[in-house]
Amino acid sequence: MSPRAKKILRNILFLLSIPAIVCAFYFANNSTRDVLCEGWQINISNPDESFVTEQDIVDIIDSQQIYVQVTHVKDIDLNGLKNKILENSWIQNTNVFVSPNGKLHIQIDQRKPVVRIQQKDSSDYAYYLDAEANPITLSQKYTPRLLTVTASRLGYDESDLKLKSSLVEMATWIANNDFWSKAITQIDLLANHQMVLIPAFGDQTILFGHAEDIANKFARLFAFYEQGMKTLHWEKYDEIDVRFAGQIVARNTRGEILAENPYDTKSQLQVKEQSKKAKVQNTAHTKDPLQSVSAKVHAKLLAKPSTKKVEKENTKQAVKTTDKKLIKPVAKPIIKKEIKHDANKK
């Protein structure tokens, strides 16, 4: 048989099998609808999040008057049951069906919160945002350990929705990093929508700015903690600024400006004023010449003898040496010998 004939025969057999499949499905469906409900099987995804329990779903099943060995499968309103389940704000999606043996199957997908939003003007009002930046109400059953953002009231206009998405992006990045997930405990959202990070160690706050170039900013901040703090006094700084590309600005907001912010005219003026004060103090100290010399050099100057004194002492020593040479007796022994010789002649 030619390949063309084989292909035609295969297509004919497939078309003939369609009615048989439809009839089998129809009879199976009718036979299932006449079966009593034999129970249910409930599967809940991401069980680590305990916002929805199996008992919650059982209570919904009971509210729909579905009973084991009492209710016929044909009497179960699957769409109504599904909609009732989705009324739970912690459930993102569900799938409901009945197997041929009469068992009701319910698959539950829980929402996964990413960040907690605490409203500044209300200590009681808080909610979560999921991965799609959708709000989720708090649960009395379970409180996950999440990064908290303190912020003013956020609405649903375009700018607020964009801001919520940036908060989710920021919180997700921090949660996926082993070090920063432990190091950053809170984010304070300013009125201009810039972020201030509150670390778990130290008294410094971190001006992060907007949720952009996140990896680069955290890389510079990690390098500052790893290298800069080894050579700098930790307690002097209470504000670390990573908003500007390629640099980190450390400040002392108590009044001492330790680094000049090139984008802040006020900090530049403060640095200049401090420089002027330092120059005035240095000028006052250098009025005494000895104060401008180091202590070691000054001690050497005090210990070094005067040049005139050395010359005078050298002159006295030379005179003493010359006097000793002049009074040395030389001729007297010779005279005594000559006198003795003359006496013998007589």
Q: How many domains does the chain have?
A: 3
Question: What local confidence, expressed as pLDDT, does residue 226 receive?
Answer: 82
Are 57 and 157 members of one domain? no
Partner residues linked to 206 by β-bridges: 197, 240
Domain ranges, residue 330: 307-345
Tell whether 20 is covered by a domain. no
144 occurs within a structural domain? yes
- 85/215 same-domain check: no
Model pLDDT, residue 143: 85
Q: Which of 241, 259, 277 is the last residue of a domain?
A: 259
- Pair 138, 171 in one domain: yes
Please indicate, yes or no, whether residues 241 and 157 belong to a single structural domain of this protein: yes
Q: Are residues 241 and 119 in the same domain?
A: yes
Query: Is 193:163 a contact under the CB 8 Å cutoff?
Result: yes
Q: What is the C-alpha to C-alpha distance for residues 106 and 43, in angstroms, rounded to an integer?
A: 6
Helical H segments across 214-289, by residue range: 214-223, 229-231, 265-285
- Among all chains, which residue has been given the structure tokens 């013998």? 344
Q: pLDDT tens digit string along 146-167?
A: 999 999 888 888 888 999 999 9
pLDDT means over runs of 10, the chain (346 residues):
69 70 57 75 83 90 89 89 91 91 91 91 83 88 89 88 94 94 93 91 88 92 80 74 86 61 61 63 50 44 47 49 43 41 41
pLDDT of amino acid 334: 42
Q: Of 60, 91, 110, which residue constitutes the final position of a domain?
A: 110
- The confidence score (pLDDT) of residue 310 equals 46
Q: Among 85, 110, 135, where does a domain finish?
A: 110
5 located within any domain:
no
Tell me: do 132 and 207 sit in the same domain.
yes
HEC states along 96-163? EEECCCCEEEEEEEECCEEEEEEECCCCCCEEEEECCCCEECCCCCCCCCCEEEEECCCCCCHHHHHH
Whether residues 69 and 150 share a domain: the answer is no
Q: Are residues 183 and 239 in the same domain?
A: yes
In this prediction, residue 339 carries a pLDDT of 37
pLDDT score, position 277: 66
104 and 232 inside one domain: no
Query: Is 103 inside a domain boundary?
Result: yes
pLDDT attached to residue 261:
56
Based on the fold, state whether residues 128 and 89 are members of the same structural domain.
Answer: no
Residue 164: predicted pLDDT: 93
pLDDT attached to residue 94: 93
